[in-house]
Amino acid sequence: MTRGALLLALLPLLGPAQGQGGTPPAPAETPPPAAPQTSPEARAAWEAVVAAMTVPGQRQAVTSFELRAHVTARQGVQSNDFEAFYRFLSSGGATPGFIRFGLGANRETGRGPGKGQKAYWLKDGEQVTVLDGREYEADRNLVRRMTTIAGNLLALSDPSKIRTESLDLRPGPPPGLPAKLARPRLNWIELVSPDFDLYRDEPPVNRDPALPRLFRVQVGADKKTQLPSLVVLREEGLPAEVTGEPLLFELLDYRPVDGYLLPHGIRVWGVDTGTPGQPFQAAPGQEISVLYADLTPGLAPADFEP
């Protein structure tokens, strides 16, 4: 099982990060754009999703979490089953948060307290390697990607906090979905928001890097429960241009956890890069069953030291 497969396996555990993995971006200091033209129908559909995912009663803001999941990861004809764990603590600002993740009990990697590259580490049994230097760039990139995953989890855990720069209803599903996911029982809502992230090595073409990154999120909400069933996430760039690593999530088996609704069954599709138009692959690359989740674990920076 490769570390890259672990990354993709946990990617759908859906919130906001900045740059190449980080914590939720602070509100922009520049004046906000004019309010988008949003139809009453689109606003009502989105508010129904927010209401469906709101668990009555008091709840704490999610700033850290622990997850344990059973994962089936597929690469071509090969399939791997394993158990993965994941811990994250938001820094509450523009700097990256703290993270650690791994397979089993003997091998893990992450980013803890420290400056620059020296904050990254790899632990194999009792041996600890500081991921400082050019030869560890791929390892650090993996940690950044996993931090991006944590941001997406924070965003979708409380959709009432998601900032929407546009909000529309789609007449049907976006193009490129696998045929098996063509479901008439979904309402499709499309929004543009800065409160998500996708890992990418280069900025979008013809987009000012000083501007906030924006993400186009297409949500297929179940007409009966109003819960998100399918989510397509892309970064905004040139019209019709796919930037970063677009993803398709199927979200199943919602259960209340610490005052939030968390999907405990998750399937992830990547794009088929060998096909013109880059439709999503016919079969999910990863299937995840959440075994344990704690959205209020009370983690501290010291918990992320190797």
- Report helix, strand or coil for 149: helix
| The two structure tokens encoding residue 180 | 């098996």
| The two structure tokens encoding residue 275 | 């096909």
- Is the pLDDT at 235 greater than 60, yes or no? yes
Which residues have a Cβ under 8 Å from the Cβ of 159 and sit 6 or more positions away?
Answer: 46, 49, 50, 53
pLDDT in tens, 100-112: 998 667 899 999 9
Other beta carbons within 10 angstroms of residue 138's beta carbon come to 10
How many contiguous H segments (helices) and E segments (strands) does the chain have? 3, 13
State percent of the chain over pLDDT 70.
77
Q: For the chain, first and last CA: distance in Å?
A: 22
Predicted pLDDT at 71: 87
- Is the pLDDT at 200 greater than 70, yes or no? no
pLDDT in tens, 137-180: 988 988 887 777 777 777 777 788 888 988 999 999 988 898 88
Predicted pLDDT at 42: 93
CA separation (Å) from 138 to 134, 193, 201, 291?
Answer: 9, 29, 12, 29
Contact between 137 and 117 under an 8 Å Cβ cutoff? The reply is no
Predicted pLDDT at 204: 57
Which residues have a Cβ under 8 Å from the Cβ of 108 and sit 6 or more positions away?
Answer: 100, 101, 102, 122, 123
Query: Which of 43-47, 60-64, 297-301 has the weakest average pLDDT?
Result: 60-64
> If one looks up domain 3-24+37-304 in CATH, what number appears?
2.50.20
Report CA 172 to chain centroid distance, whole Å: 23
Q: Give the Cα separation of 65 and 174 in Å (integer).
A: 32
**Mean of per-residue pLDDT scores for the chain:** 79
pLDDT in tens, 66-84: 999 998 888 777 888 888 8
> How many residues are given for the chain?
306
Which residues have a Cβ under 8 Å from the Cβ of 79 and sit 6 or more positions away?
Answer: 72, 73
Contact between 215 and 193 under an 8 Å Cβ cutoff? The reply is yes
Contact between 99 and 110 under an 8 Å Cβ cutoff? The reply is yes
- Region 180-202 average pLDDT: 83
Q: Give the Cα separation of 17 and 4 in Å (integer).
A: 19
Domain chopping of the chain, boundaries: 3-24+37-304
Closest C-alpha to 21, from 244, 241, 243 = 244
- Is the pLDDT at 36 greater than 60, yes or no? no
Q: Using CA of residue 237, residue 241, residue 247, residue 250, what is the dihedral sign? A: positive
**Residue 99 C-beta-side C-alpha neighbours within 13 Å:** 29
DSSP state of 271: B
Q: Look up the pTM and report it.
A: 0.77
| The two structure tokens encoding residue 272 | 């088929």
CA separation (Å) from 187 to 44, 235, 251, 266, 282?
Answer: 12, 22, 15, 19, 22
pLDDT in tens, 54-63: 877 767 777 8
- Is the pLDDT at 20 greater than 90, yes or no? no
